[in-house]
């Protein structure tokens, strides 16, 4: 095939020049293909008993295999439809999740559980990789790229119309709705408070040490040191000093400080977030063009004016990326806060682990993952907005 | 008028106790309304000298008078707001639009916003940037030459009598540099600012400077008009620094139009009036002709450039 036989908007040369993108589609496609022949549902008489695996009906198997093969094959000739293809595959995965669970639960008693099995997860992984690959092509047309998000409205509609209700994880959610909302709230509270405190402490500290190289080394060393302590150990280490502190100072105890619960969890989260906030703050503040700073001084800005009008605005986008890293990190670390009684989505994860109820684990883990992605996207959007407005070249 | 009196900047090495003079006993007068080039090899103290004038560096000895007033009598920020400042890295603020960049100093001085914006647009016009097209752009959308034009406009925004320029054309490619130098001279002819220009580029100093101060090792080697330095070097260093082709360099600072005289131009090779005289000389040698017809911008003959005129100039 010569380039001249292809229409120009197909951009074959661009794709041909990126064999790694082709590889992404092969990987995604092969995973999807394998997924078609794996079991998709596991039906158990109750949430703890052993169960029976169910495969996809043959018609869906064939359809899925065709779609799976279409991914790597059309990537070469029709790259422009790749976002649509990936989005459709992902949406199909969610639809099948609802449909297969509903089918499995047909004529089953209320306490039976239908959970998603390896086929579904592998399919979602493969389709997700295809969607990711579609984003890497660099299509010139916005519209076609947006089609990769097709899965999102489909998922929302499926969820809102109750199509997914038969899925075991949602059964668990249904049983513990109030608790779920409470723990999501607690999780958010831990993350936002920890992040807020880290910024409140870290930002002025970063500004202060950015002009003092020796202090900067010491402070970064301290923050680095904390980062090397495993999060579990840090929580444990805080029990004794905070407990002692609360015992020695009764007014602190009245404020809710104690060795276990929210206080040590928040302390640990704040300490963890401190490093990314500090390090990126330092890098950002020091990275501001020396020419701009010299010009600012030479034109008669005072030190304060120079900081607020030039250095800070120019450092902010880079700094925000550090805060974003910290936020994502905290969503993860907050999941183990339950170990010292601080609640959060870890509540479901650990009760699931204790009772070997995988649905319960997922009820904690999936929202935690979504929360991390959401926080990341939100702050990334803010970064892009600032960068675009301030046009850093 | 800026007057340096026995200006000195010394650094003491903390560990060895060694003393290093960046500038040593430098006395100089920068005449009003003229461009004075501070010329010299790197490390000669020219930038240090410039930065002491707006107190970005504090002298360790001597004093600097601005219109007879010791500059140490003012708050450094107030002093700097009365002195335009242009640097090699250009140093535009990337997060502000062109107009906001230009309006920086008037904003610092608390002048009414509408008035400063109006003035900024005038200045853009002055430096050869169409305000309608450039006012709302951001620095990353500009070429190097355009960015430095904005840099010059910004330095002029509060209408300071004095302009300090540290290698302002140093980061530009030769073509853009040439155009900008031309535009800069044109602006200076109109504004008559007192300008201190730091450069290591001999051609630039001879072309732009009304006076040239050649520094070496923190001390003044020679101060005078470009012609003085080229014709009457006071020391071996000056002659060597300017080089054996100093005369040619000086010719490069003149345009053919400047030396053209009335005369019969029939049959002579033709050159543009904006061509510099060194290039014109090269045309003469190449064409084996001792006279050239000089054309104006419309392609009309405006005079004749003769070998004799060159001899007198060189």
Q: Does the pLDDT at position A83 exceed 50?
A: yes
Q: Is the dihedral of CA B165, B166, B172, B174 positive or negative?
A: positive
The pLDDT of residue B83: 96
Q: Which two tokens stand for residue B183?
A: 């535009």
Angstrom distance (rounded) from CA B253 to CA B201 = 13
Per-residue model confidence as pLDDT tens digits over B23-54: 999 999 999 999 999 999 988 999 999 999 99
For residues B160 and B282, membership in a common domain is answered with no
Q: What are the start-end ranges of the E strands in chain A?
A: 41-44, 52-54, 113-116
Q: Does the pLDDT at position A3 exceed 80?
A: no
Lowest mean pLDDT among A2-11, A53-62, A307-316: A2-11
DSSP-H helix ranges across chain B: 46-53, 76-81, 98-102, 104-108, 113-126, 131-134, 144-156, 174-191, 202-208, 226-231, 236-242, 246-252, 256-259, 277-287, 307-313
Q: Does the pLDDT at position A10 exceed 80?
A: no
CB A375 within 8 Å of CB A327:
yes
Residues in chain B within 8 Å Cβ distance of A289: 89, 91, 94
- How far is CA A240 from each of CA A262, A274, B23, B71, B152, rounded to the nearest angstrom? 14, 22, 62, 61, 63
Task: Domain of residue A353: give its range.
Answer: 177-390
Share of chain B above pLDDT 70, in %: 100
Q: Which two tokens stand for residue A327?
A: 């936020």
Count chain A–chain B contacts defined by CB atoms under 8 A: 78
Residues in chain B within 8 Å Cβ distance of A313: 95
Task: Domain of residue B30: give its range.
Answer: 2-252
- Residue of chain A minimizing CA distance to B100: A309
CB B255 within 8 Å of CB B276:
yes
Whether B95 sits inside 8 A of A297 (CB atoms) is: no
Q: How many domains does chain A have?
A: 2
Whether B140 sits inside 8 A of A392 (CB atoms) is: yes
**What CATH number is given to the structural domain containing A363?**
1.10.3720.10
User: Chain A interface, mutation test: which of B57, B93, B103, B152, most A Cβ atoms within 10 Å?
Assistant: B93
Whether B80 sits inside 8 A of A298 (CB atoms) is: yes
Domain limit, last residue, from B206, B237, B252: B252
Whether B77 sits inside 8 A of A290 (CB atoms) is: no
For residues A123 and A244, membership in a common domain is answered with no
Whether B87 sits inside 8 A of A301 (CB atoms) is: no
Angstrom distance (rounded) from CA A49 to CA A44 = 6
- Which secondary structure element, helix H or strand E, spans residue A172, and what is its range? helix A168-175
Angstrom distance (rounded) from CA A48 to CA A44 = 8
Task: Supply the DSSP symbol for B22.
Answer: E
For residues A148 and A228, membership in a common domain is answered with no
Residues in chain A within 8 Å Cβ distance of B89: 289-291, 294-295
Q: Which two tokens stand for residue A51?
A: 């169960």
Reference B148, options B121, B129, B133, B122; nearest CA is B129
Q: Does the pLDDT at position A257 exceed 80?
A: no
Angstrom distance (rounded) from CA B172 to CA B184 = 14
Angstrom distance (rounded) from CA A59 to CA A247 = 67
pLDDT band at B59 (very low <50, low <70, confident <90, very high): very high
For residues A68 and A162, membership in a common domain is answered with yes
Per-residue model confidence as pLDDT tens digits over A355-372: 888 889 999 999 999 999
Per-residue model confidence as pLDDT tens digits over A230-245: 888 888 888 888 888 8
Contacts of B300 (CB under 8 A, 6+ apart): none
> Mean pLDDT score of chain A, rounded to an integer?
87
Contact residues, chain B to chain A, C-beta under 8 Å: 54, 56, 76-81, 85, 87, 89-95, 104-105, 108, 138-141, 151, 154-155, 164
Q: Which two tokens stand for residue A333?
A: 């670390």
Angstrom distance (rounded) from CA A327 to CA A195 = 6
For residues B223 and B273, membership in a common domain is answered with no
Q: Does the pLDDT at position A11 exceed 60?
A: no
Least CB–CB distance from B94: residue in A290, A294, A390: A390
SS3 B3: strand
- Residue of chain A minimizing CA distance to B79: A300
CB A311 within 8 Å of CB A281:
no
SS3 B281: helix
pLDDT band at B124 (very low <50, low <70, confident <90, very high): very high
Residues in chain A within 8 Å Cβ distance of B116: none
Whether A297 sits inside 8 A of B80 (CB atoms) is: yes
Whether B94 sits inside 8 A of A300 (CB atoms) is: no
Domain limit, last residue, from B205, B224, B252: B252
User: Chain A interface, mutation test: which of B80, B94, B97, most A Cβ atoms within 10 Å?
Assistant: B94
pLDDT band at B217 (very low <50, low <70, confident <90, very high): very high
B194-199 and B69-70 beta bridge pairing: unpaired
Asked if the structure places residue A90 within a domain, the reply is yes
CB A95 within 8 Å of CB A151:
no
Q: Does the pLDDT at position A147 exceed 80?
A: yes
Least CB–CB distance from B105: residue in A293, A300, A313: A300
> Mean pLDDT score of chain B, rounded to an integer?
91
User: Chain A interface, mutation test: which of B51, B54, B91, B167, most A Cβ atoms within 10 Å?
Assistant: B91
Domain limit, last residue, from B252, B273, B288: B252
CB A387 within 8 Å of CB B95:
no
Angstrom distance (rounded) from CA B99 to CA B238 = 43
For residues A109 and A191, membership in a common domain is answered with no
Distance (Å) from the alpha carbon of A210 to chain B's nearest alpha carbon: 20
Contact residues, chain A to chain B, C-beta under 8 Å: 289-302, 305, 309-310, 313-314, 389-393
Angstrom distance (rounded) from CA A315 to CA B261 = 59
Angstrom distance (rounded) from CA B172 to CA B149 = 11
Lowest mean pLDDT among A1-10, A35-44, A181-190: A1-10
Whether B94 sits inside 8 A of A392 (CB atoms) is: yes
Whether B138 sits inside 8 A of A391 (CB atoms) is: yes
* Total count of residues recorded for chain B: 314
Reference B243, options B206, B277, B275, B280; nearest CA is B206
pLDDT band at B314 (very low <50, low <70, confident <90, very high): low
Task: Supply the DSSP symbol for A149.
Answer: G
Least CB–CB distance from A391: residue in B56, B91, B140: B140
**What CATH number is given to the structural domain containing B113?**
3.40.50.300
Q: Which two tokens stand for residue B16?
A: 């060895």
Q: Does the pLDDT at position A197 exceed 90?
A: yes
User: How large is the greatest C-alpha to C-alpha distance in chain B, in angstroms?
Assistant: 74
The pLDDT of residue A6: 42
For residues B57 and B180, membership in a common domain is answered with yes
The pLDDT of residue B221: 95
Angstrom distance (rounded) from CA B190 to CA B127 = 12
Whether A390 sits inside 8 A of B164 (CB atoms) is: no
- Residue of chain B minimizing CA distance to A293: B91
Residues in chain B within 8 Å Cβ distance of A300: 76-81, 105, 108
Whether B93 sits inside 8 A of A310 (CB atoms) is: yes
Asked if the structure places residue A227 within a domain, the reply is yes
Contacts of A213 (CB under 8 A, 6+ apart): none
Asked if the structure places residue A172 within a domain, the reply is no
- For tokens 């549902």, what's the residue? A41
Asked if the structure places residue A44 within a domain, the reply is yes
For residues B76 and B103, membership in a common domain is answered with yes
For residues A121 and A236, membership in a common domain is answered with no
Task: Quote ipTM for the complex.
Answer: 0.83
Contacts of A214 (CB under 8 A, 6+ apart): none
Q: What angle do CA A363, A368, A374 make, to 5 degrees?
A: 130
For residues A247 and A273, membership in a common domain is answered with yes
Q: Does the pLDDT at position A302 exceed 90?
A: yes
Whether A313 sits inside 8 A of B90 (CB atoms) is: no
Least CB–CB distance from B94: residue in A290, A296, A391: A391
CB A104 within 8 Å of CB A166:
yes
For residues A216 and A289, membership in a common domain is answered with yes
Residues in chain B within 8 Å Cβ distance of A390: 94-95, 138
Angle, in degrees to the nearest 10, between helices B144-156 and B113-126? 130
The pLDDT of residue B205: 92
The pLDDT of residue A389: 67
For residues B205 and B286, membership in a common domain is answered with no
Q: Does the pLDDT at position A391 exceed 60?
A: no
Q: Does the pLDDT at position B247 exceed 80?
A: no
For residues A153 and A186, membership in a common domain is answered with no
Q: Which two tokens stand for residue A359?
A: 């649905």
Q: How many domains does chain B have?
A: 2
Angstrom distance (rounded) from CA B37 to CA A151 = 67
Contacts of B224 (CB under 8 A, 6+ apart): B211, B212, B232
For residues A345 and A377, membership in a common domain is answered with yes
pLDDT band at B7 (very low <50, low <70, confident <90, very high): very high
For residues A161 and A216, membership in a common domain is answered with no
For residues A88 and A219, membership in a common domain is answered with no
Angstrom distance (rounded) from CA B213 to CA B238 = 11
* Total count of residues recorded for chain A: 393
Residues in chain A within 8 Å Cβ distance of B144: none
Angstrom distance (rounded) from CA A258 to CA A38 = 49
- Residue of chain B minimizing CA distance to A300: B77
Residues in chain B within 8 Å Cβ distance of A393: 94, 139-140
Angstrom distance (rounded) from CA B217 to CA B23 = 7
Nearest 10 degrees: Cα torsion A229, A233, A239, A244: -50
For residues A155 and A195, membership in a common domain is answered with no
More confident residue, B5 or A340: B5
Q: Which two tokens stand for residue B251?
A: 């010719």
Per-residue model confidence as pLDDT tens digits over B147-192: 999 999 999 999 999 999 999 998 888 888 888 998 999 999 999 9
Task: Supply the DSSP symbol for A340.
Answer: G
**What CATH number is given to the structural domain containing B307?**
3.10.580.10
């Amino acid at each position: 095939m010569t380039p001249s036989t292809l229409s120009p908007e197909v951009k074959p040369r661009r794709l041909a020049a990126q064999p790694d993108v082709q590889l992404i589609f092969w990987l995604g496609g092969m995973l999807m293909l394998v997924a078609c022949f794996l079991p998709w549902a596991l039906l158990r008489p109750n949430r703890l008993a052993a169960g029976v695996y169910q495969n996809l009906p043959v018609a869906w198997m064939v359809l899925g295999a065709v779609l799976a093969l279409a991914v790597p094959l059309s990537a070469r000739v029709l790259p422009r439809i790749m976002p649509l293809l990936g989005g459709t595959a992902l949406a199909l995965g969610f639809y099948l999740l609802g449909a297969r669970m509903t089918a499995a639960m047909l004529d089953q008693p209320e306490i039976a559980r239908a959970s998603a099995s390896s086929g579904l997860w592998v399919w979602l992984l493969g389709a997700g990789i295809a969607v990711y690959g579609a984003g890497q092509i660099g299509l010139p047309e916005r519209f076609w790229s947006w089609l990769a998000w097709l899965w999102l409205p489909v998922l929302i509609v499926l969820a809102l119309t109750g199509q997914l209700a038969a899925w075991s994880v949602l059964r668990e959610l249904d049983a513990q709705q109030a608790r779920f909302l409470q723990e999501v709230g607690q999780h958010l509270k831990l993350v936002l408070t920890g992040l807020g405190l880290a910024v409140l402490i870290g930002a002025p500290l970063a500004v202060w040490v950015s002009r003092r190289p020796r202090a900067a080394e010491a402070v970064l060393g301290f923050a680095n040191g904390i980062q090397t302590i495993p999060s579990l150990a840090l929580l444990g280490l805080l029990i004794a000093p905070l407990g002692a502190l609360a015992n020695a100072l009764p007014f602190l105890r009245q404020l809710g400080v104690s060795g276990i619960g929210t206080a040590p969890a928040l302390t640990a989260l704040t300490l963890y977030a401190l490093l990314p906030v500090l390090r990126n703050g330092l890098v950002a503040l020091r990275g501001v063009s020396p020419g701009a700073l010299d010009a600012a001084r030479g034109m008669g800005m005072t030190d304060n004016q120079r900081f607020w009008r030039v250095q800070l605005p120019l450092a902010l986008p880079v700094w925000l990326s550090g805060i974003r890293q910290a936020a994502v990190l905290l969503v993860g670390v907050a999941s183990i806060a339950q170990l010292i009684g601080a609640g959060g989505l870890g509540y479901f994860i650990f009760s699931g682990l204790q009772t070997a109820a995988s649905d319960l684990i997922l009820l904690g883990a999936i929202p935690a993952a979504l929360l991390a992605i959401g926080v990341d996207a939100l702050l990334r959007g803010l970064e892009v907005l600032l960068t675009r407005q301030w046009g850093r070249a | 008028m800026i007057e340096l009196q026995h200006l000195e900047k010394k650094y003491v090495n903390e560990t060895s106790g060694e003393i290093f003079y960046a500038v040593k006993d430098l006395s100089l007068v920068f005449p009003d309304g003229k461009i004075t080039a501070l010329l010299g090899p790197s490390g000669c103290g020219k930038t240090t000298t410039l930065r002491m004038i707006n107190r970005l560096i504090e002298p360790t000895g001597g004093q600097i008078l601005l219109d007879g007033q010791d500059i140490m009598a003012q708050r450094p920020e107030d002093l700097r707001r009365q002195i335009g400042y242009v640097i090699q890295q250009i140093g535009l603020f990337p997060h502000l639009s062109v107009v906001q960049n230009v309006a920086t100093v008037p904003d610092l001085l608390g002048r009414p916003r509408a008035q400063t914006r109006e003035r900024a647009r005038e200045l853009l016009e002055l430096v050869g940037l169409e305000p309608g097209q450039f006012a709302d752009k951001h620095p990353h959308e500009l070429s190097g030459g355009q960015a430095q034009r904005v840099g010059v406009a910004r330095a002029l925004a509060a209408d300071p009598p004095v302009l300090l320029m540290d290698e302002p054309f140093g980061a530009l490619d030769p073509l853009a540099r040439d155009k900008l130098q031309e535009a800069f001279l044109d602006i200076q002819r109109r504004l008559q600012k007192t300008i201190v220009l730091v450069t290591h580029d001999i051609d630039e100093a001879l072309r732009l400077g009304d006076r040239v101060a050649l520094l070496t090792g923190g001390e003044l080697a020679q101060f005078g008009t470009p012609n003085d330095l080229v014709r009457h070097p006071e020391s071996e260093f000056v002659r060597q620094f300017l080089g054996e082709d100093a005369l040619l360099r000086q010719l490069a600072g003149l345009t053919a139009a400047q030396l053209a005289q009335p005369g019969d131009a029939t049959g002579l090779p033709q050159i543009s009036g904006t061509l510099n005289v060194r290039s014109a000389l090269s045309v003469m040698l190449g064409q084996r002709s001792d006279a050239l017809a000089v054309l104006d911008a419309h392609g009309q003959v405006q005079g004749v450039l003769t070998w004799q005129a060159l001899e007198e100039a060189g």
